[in-house]
Amino acid sequence: MHNCESHDHAELELHKIRHSLAHILAQAVLEVRPKAELGFGPAIDTGFFYDFLLEEPLTQEDLKDLEKRMKKIIRSNQKFECTTKSTADAQTMLLQMGQKLKAEYADELASKGLELSFYQNGNFIDLCEGPHVAQSSQIKDNCFVLDSIAGSYWRGDSSKQVLTRIYGLAFANREQLDQFLTERKLAQERDHRKLGKELEIFHMDDEIGQGLPLWLPNGTVLREELETYAKEIEFQAGYVRVATPHITKENLYYTSGHLPYYKETMYSPIEIDGENYYLKPMNCPHHHKIYGSRPRSYRELPLRLAEYGTCYRYEHSGALSGLLRVRALSMNDAHIYCREDQVKDEFKAVLQMHKDYYEKFRIARYWVRLSLHASDKNKFIDNEDRWQFAEQMVRSCLDEVGIEYKAEAGEAAFYGPKVDFQIRNVIGREETASTNQLDFAIANRFGLKYTAEDGKEHEPYIIHRAPLGTHERFLAFLIEHFGGAFPTWMAPVQVRIVPVSEAFLDYAKELSLVLHKEGFRVVLDDSNDSFSKKIRNAVTKKGPNIFVIGDNEVQNRTVTWRRYCVKDQVTMPFAKMMNLLKQLRQLRTMDNFADEALPEVQE
């Protein structure tokens, strides 16, 4: 307990430092832009930011000067002092200061009848609830840097004023700051948007549309390998596959409730023969129709319907980010229709499937959110008893599978609780990678029934699950996780053959044909480039296996095998190498990790 309290204290102190630096930044900006209007300036995970409405812009080049001014303020040892005012007095003071945005916010708070707190350091005063350090000398002036300038909207509303946001990085000491900067530089090299272009995985084109990725041949291999793996896992787990259309009459989404709840994220309707059709934003209503296509018996349950269905969601342009958030997405979707006595085992099995996938891909940096409902009848189905049953069921499943989680109210689906697996990508953006939902309400909307053993009709529970999320988002994570260097079974090019010179080209072509016949994705570099340049090109492509062919290899019918990022190369008979490749493919090993045990093979 003592260690936990110590950790919490350190986190609070760092939060105070970051929040205080935001105020000091605003103080420095007002020195150079006295007419600037202040937005908000919170502490964030890596430091702080502050938003400003400026008549004269600030640029990246101005940040060094602002940093110097901040350090001068810090060294002047200003105290942070809190005072409170009535909302009327607060509004009057803010307007006198020319801070119209903050006065607007104070007016909003006035309806709640609150006294408003202000913090002052030196000649700078700001509407703020704190907390802050007691005095600026508690901040080390080498523990922060001003990082970047971006645009933002007042209150996050695109219809309001455009503000200038200045970001700063801040940590407890210089060592932590330097470590973060080093790690971020490495992370930026792994950004899936950068690697996606360099490795020719996907392409975004303005004439196609924002958020609508074009999968290039290399990216299509990655999609298909991931999908094939998922299909095999699901087949063994008793799933059956279905396929549904991309477009549907609008009444289906009134039945499901998606139009009332999710209309803003759906594409506009298409009028055909006097009726409105929508591009499907999710697969579930179609799967419900498949379940309801004929009478069902309790003996058929659980029925597990799976589909890698392509869906379309109109995400706001500001939210789009490479493959992480797109408008066309192929989801690792399935819906499990089961009896109440089957719910627990089915939900646990899906949670275990999530865990197994994450362990397979060696993804360790994630956290799990249990998303619960809130008392909002406009957002959630109004049935408190069913909510309590479903939420308690999901909690017990998480506990029994051994998954730690954080519970958050108000994040559930409108029809039931869900478990979200949250991953933060290399540049710090967090997204839901995969999800598992327990639905107690939609069966009633669709009139879904099964005949029980006693001859009576009952409604099934429905589990919505997508352990691999979408092709788009999961592959974005994997590109960054692997740094673009995929294991043999997934790699777009599994073997790259590099002859030392043209004299060894015939043997290289022979090996290439044999590998191709055995179903391997192989590229032979028969260019006129020098041998060293061929090797550099092969390494740049991040392929898992390079076969070097020279005189010894031709004479002995061997290959010299270079693994990506493995220093030592190995020479072995081609027949043995072929068997090894087959096992790497069959076992789906993570052979891009140096510590992965490679299969023992015979010649």
**What is residue 2's predicted lDDT score, i.e. its pLDDT?**
32
Looking at residue 202, which CATH number applies to its domain? Answer: 3.30.930.10
DSSP code per residue over 182-236: HHHHHHHHT-HHHHHHHTT-EE--TTT-TT-PEEPHHHHHHHHHHHHHHHHHHHH
How far apart are alpha carbons 36 and 160 in whole angstroms? 16
**What is residue 390's predicted lDDT score, i.e. its pLDDT?**
86
**What is residue 4's predicted lDDT score, i.e. its pLDDT?**
35
338 and 216 within one domain: yes
**What is residue 3's predicted lDDT score, i.e. its pLDDT?**
35
Q: What is the mean pLDDT of each run of 10 residues along the chain (603 residues)?
A: 49 93 96 95 94 94 96 94 89 91 87 82 92 93 94 89 96 93 86 94 95 96 97 97 96 88 88 94 95 96 96 88 93 95 95 93 88 74 80 92 88 83 76 88 93 95 94 94 94 96 95 97 94 93 95 95 88 94 94 71 59
SS (H, E, C) 495-508: EEEEECCHHHHHHH
Are residues 544 and 491 in contact, defined by beta-carbon separation less than 8 angstroms? Answer: yes
153 and 117 within one domain: yes
Instruction: Find the domain containing 140 and state its range.
Output: 2-187
Is residue 594 included in any domain, yes or no?
Answer: no
Token representation of residue 599: 């299969």
560 and 500 within one domain: yes
Is residue 592 included in any domain, yes or no?
Answer: no
Number of structural domains the chain divides into: 3
**What is residue 596's predicted lDDT score, i.e. its pLDDT?**
67
35 and 13 within one domain: yes
352 and 229 within one domain: yes
**What is residue 338's predicted lDDT score, i.e. its pLDDT?**
96
Are residues 400 and 351 in contact, defined by beta-carbon separation less than 8 angstroms? Answer: no
Looking at residue 117, which CATH number applies to its domain? Answer: 3.30.980.10
Domain boundary among 166, 187, 208: 187
* Angle made by CA atoms 253, 256, 262, in degrees to the nearest 5: 65
225 and 180 within one domain: no
Backbone angles phi, psi at 466, to 5 degrees: -150, 75
Tens-place pLDDT, residues 313-332: 998 888 888 999 999 999 99
Domain boundary among 451, 482, 513: 482
Looking at residue 558, which CATH number applies to its domain? Answer: 3.40.50.800
**What is residue 562's predicted lDDT score, i.e. its pLDDT?**
93
Are residues 403 and 412 in contact, defined by beta-carbon separation less than 8 angstroms? Answer: no
**What is residue 412's predicted lDDT score, i.e. its pLDDT?**
81
Using a cut of 0.85, tell me whether the model's pTM lies above it. Answer: no
Tens-place pLDDT, residues 271-283: 999 999 999 999 9
272 and 236 within one domain: yes
Is residue 442 included in any domain, yes or no?
Answer: yes
